[in-house]
Chain A
Amino acid sequence: MDCENCGERKAKITLTEIENNEMRTLNLCSTCATLKGVSAGGGSAPMADLLAHLGGSAGDTLFDEAGEACEYCGTGAGDFRKSGRLGCPQCYAHFHRQLRALLRRVHGSSQHMGKVYVSTAPDADPEQVRLSTLRRRLERAVEIEDFESAADLRDAIHALTEVS
């Protein structure tokens, strides 16, 4: 059956309407059904949409591509603006100021009010976590023969182990 609204596409949805206590049924294609009111649901990527809206004015100043990338995972402001995803938990510390502003717009607040987490899990010591992250990144840098990064990472590991 063809769509009773556009007559072009195949009808897939039966829409029943009541107007002035009279019920009528329309066989519609999905496009016309959407236009008639039963919409197809929320956006597919709310974060990317939001960042796009922020782009130009607030977005540019908030997540300035010229700024430094996250020292742990290498995610830069530009990556975040493109994907709407952060690279690692440390990104929240790295982009702290910008994220606080963004979260206030998205959630109406930047302060967590829910469960408080105190880690009792093994290897939760932040120094240890940082160390193991750096060691993993060092291994990777050596693997891909990025010796410049490897040297920096080695220094960072030395600095940490000397302190502790």
Chain B
Amino acid sequence: MTDGPAAAPPIGTHGLDWLDDEGPDGDIVVSSRVRLARNLQGYSFSAHATGEEREALLEKARAATEAAGVLQEADFWEISRLDRVDRLLLLERRLVSKELIGKPDAGPRRGAGLALSRARTLGMMVNEEDHLRLQTLRGGFQLAAAWRDLDQLDEEMGARLPYAFHQEFGFLTSCPTNVGTGLRASVFIHLPGLVLTRQIRKVLEGMGQLGVTYRGLYGEGSRIVGNLFQISNQTTLGKTEEDLIDQLERLVGRVIGYEKQARAVLLREAPNVLEDKVWRAYGILCHARSLPFEEMMNLLSGVRLGISLKLLKSPRVDVISRMMIHAQTAHLARAAGRRLDEADADAFRASYVRRALA
């Protein structure tokens, strides 16, 4: 039911199955993601290649996808053949980057593509900054499992496509910050306790010294909303993939520990204030008639905290995660079946949230 000219499969509920598995520490870690940057020998990097070269590369990637076991049941989209809302749906699900879908006025680059497995959230962007960006997403704190899935996809693609590899520098990438393993692992983590007790800056600064970086909801340069942080490894060269995953896992494990301590302090020192904050957030979400996205995210943060601390019996944590996806503007517009201006979207969001919490 896409209204674009594409003969591609509809976006539907693609790429959302990670939500079915809350995963370990799912009340604090929303999701775990790993991606690998890969490029092919004999082609300029995507930004430097001609439209014809990028299209040739897209076809090679498509053929390899069809032959690869782990992606055999995959759907493949040419981004330029998707309509604007579909492109934004993919972005809001964090299956594509802003760079892949292009600027709203300019649209995507020629040859931009996305492959996505049906069974799992395992996929591949084509002609992003690098020729291939293999990626996987899982619910909760499961970096090692995510890496195992991705490693398998990498082996299969590498056997079918000639990767650009250098004995000293490893897998070659368009930007030298990704070279070597090409691996970026990240967790999307909810840290209201550390924010409320004002320890967050100290923790984030400490991480910076350990080769780990953080960003907001939509990646590089984006703002922190709803006490949600993306924590990822900063360096990609000089360590094995397993070491990078392991180091990030241990560090995130410590951050989870600090977050739990902060929550315990809040419960002990200011239980009434905390409980009031949680219930107020829940109350506003249940009754508001207009909800801007950021306000909703901040209120959902309170509710997620309330669930985690057992101050609220319902909803379940995955209901909150689903709302964070489905109450974004493109998802609302798709559900409404029409374009929504800001005021429309805020009203539509409030009504969606009331129903989801009813």
Q: Does A92 touch B at the CB level, under 8 Å?
A: yes
Q: How far is the CA of A156 from the CA of B166 in the complex (A)?
A: 23
Q: Are B201 and A39 in contact (CB under 8 A)?
A: yes
Q: Are B222 and A41 in contact (CB under 8 A)?
A: yes
Q: Are B183 and A38 in contact (CB under 8 A)?
A: no
A110 partner, pick from B159, B168, B181, B270, beta carbons under 8 A: B168
In this complex, how many residues of chain A approach chain B with their Cβ under 8 Å: the count is: 61
Q: Does B43 touch A at the CB level, under 8 Å?
A: yes
Q: Are B214 and A129 in contact (CB under 8 A)?
A: no
What string of 1s and 0s marks CB contacts (under 8 Å) between A72-89 and chain B?
A: 110100000001111111
Q: Are A108 and B235 in contact (CB under 8 A)?
A: yes
Q: Are B163 and A106 in contact (CB under 8 A)?
A: no
Q: How far is the CA of A89 from the CA of B45 in the complex (A)?
A: 7
Known: A103-B237, A129-B42. A86 touches B176 (CB 8 A): yes
Q: Does A132 touch B at the CB level, under 8 Å?
A: yes
Q: What residues on B are CB-neighbors of A14 within 8 Å? A: 298
Q: Does A67 touch B at the CB level, under 8 Å?
A: no
- Smallest Cβ-Cβ distance to A86: which chain B residue: B174
Q: Are A113 and B240 in contact (CB under 8 A)?
A: yes
Q: What residues on A are CB-neighbors of B163 within 8 Å? A: 117, 119, 121
Q: Does B322 touch A at the CB level, under 8 Å?
A: no
Q: Are A109 and B237 in contact (CB under 8 A)?
A: yes
Q: Does A99 touch B at the CB level, under 8 Å?
A: yes
Q: Are A88 and B43 in contact (CB under 8 A)?
A: yes
Q: How far is the CA of A43 from the CA of B219 in the complex (A)?
A: 11
Q: Are A112 and B168 in contact (CB under 8 A)?
A: yes
Q: Does A102 touch B at the CB level, under 8 Å?
A: yes
**Distance in Å from the Cβ of B56 to the closest Cβ of chain A?**
9
- Segment with Cβ contacts to A, from B4-12, B104-112, B190-198, B248-256: B190-198
B162 partner, pick from A37, A43, A123, beta carbons under 8 A: A123
Q: Does B269 touch A at the CB level, under 8 Å?
A: yes
- Smallest Cβ-Cβ distance to A123: which chain B residue: B162
Q: For chain B, residues 20 to 54, give those with C-beta under 8 angstroms from any C-beta of chain A.
A: 39, 41-45, 47-48, 50, 53
Q: How many A-B residue pairs have CB under 8 A?
A: 186
Q: How far is the CA of A75 from the CA of B172 in the complex (A)?
A: 15
Q: How large is the interface on B (under 10, 10 to 19, 20 to 34, 35 or more residues)?
A: 35 or more
Q: Are A121 and B161 in contact (CB under 8 A)?
A: yes
Q: Does B180 touch A at the CB level, under 8 Å?
A: yes
Q: How far is the CA of A21 from the CA of B198 in the complex (A)?
A: 12
Q: Are B213 and A42 in contact (CB under 8 A)?
A: yes
Q: Does B179 touch A at the CB level, under 8 Å?
A: yes
Q: Are A115 and B181 in contact (CB under 8 A)?
A: yes
A85 partner, pick from B174, B237, B240, B273, beta carbons under 8 A: B174
Q: Are B50 and A85 in contact (CB under 8 A)?
A: no
Q: What residues on A are CB-neighbors of B197 within 8 Å? A: 18
Q: Does B289 touch A at the CB level, under 8 Å?
A: no
Q: How far is the CA of A133 from the CA of B42 in the complex (A)?
A: 6
Q: For chain A, residues 3 to 62, give those with C-beta under 8 angstroms from any C-beta of chain B.
A: 12-14, 16-18, 21, 23, 30, 37-47
Q: Does B264 touch A at the CB level, under 8 Å?
A: no
- Smallest Cβ-Cβ distance to A18: which chain B residue: B197
Q: Does B343 touch A at the CB level, under 8 Å?
A: no
Q: What residues on B are CB-neighbors of A103 within 8 Å? A: 169, 176, 179, 237
Q: For chain A, residues 93 to 127, give those with C-beta under 8 angstroms from any C-beta of chain B.
A: 93, 99-100, 102-103, 106-115, 117, 119-124, 126
- Smallest Cβ-Cβ distance to A51: which chain B residue: B176
Q: Does B102 touch A at the CB level, under 8 Å?
A: no
Q: Are B238 and A109 in contact (CB under 8 A)?
A: yes
Q: Does A136 touch B at the CB level, under 8 Å?
A: yes
Q: What residues on B are CB-neighbors of A108 within 8 Å? A: 211, 235, 238
Q: Are B238 and A75 in contact (CB under 8 A)?
A: no
**Distance in Å from the Cβ of A162 to the closest Cβ of chain B?**
21
Q: For chain B, residues 257 to 294, give those with C-beta under 8 angstroms from any C-beta of chain A.
A: 266, 269-270, 273, 277, 294
Q: What residues on B are CB-neighbors of A47 within 8 Å? A: 175-177
**Distance in Å from the Cβ of B38 to the closest Cβ of chain A?**
9
Additional pairs, 7, CB under 8 Å, beyond known A39-B224, A87-B44, A115-B171: A12-B294, A18-B270, A40-B224, A41-B221, A84-B176, A85-B174, A102-B176
**Interface on A for B, CB 8 Å cutoff?**
12-14, 16-18, 21, 23, 30, 37-47, 72-73, 75, 83-89, 92-93, 99-100, 102-103, 106-115, 117, 119-124, 126, 128-130, 132-133, 136, 140
**Interface on B for A, CB 8 Å cutoff?**
39, 41-45, 47-48, 50, 53, 129, 154, 158-172, 174-177, 179-181, 183, 195-198, 200-201, 204, 211, 213-216, 220-224, 235-241, 243, 266, 269-270, 273, 277, 294-295, 298
Name the 10 nearest CB pairs between A and B, nearest first.
Answer: A109-B238, A112-B170, A89-B164, A124-B162, A44-B221, A129-B42, A107-B237, A114-B181, A117-B165, A121-B162
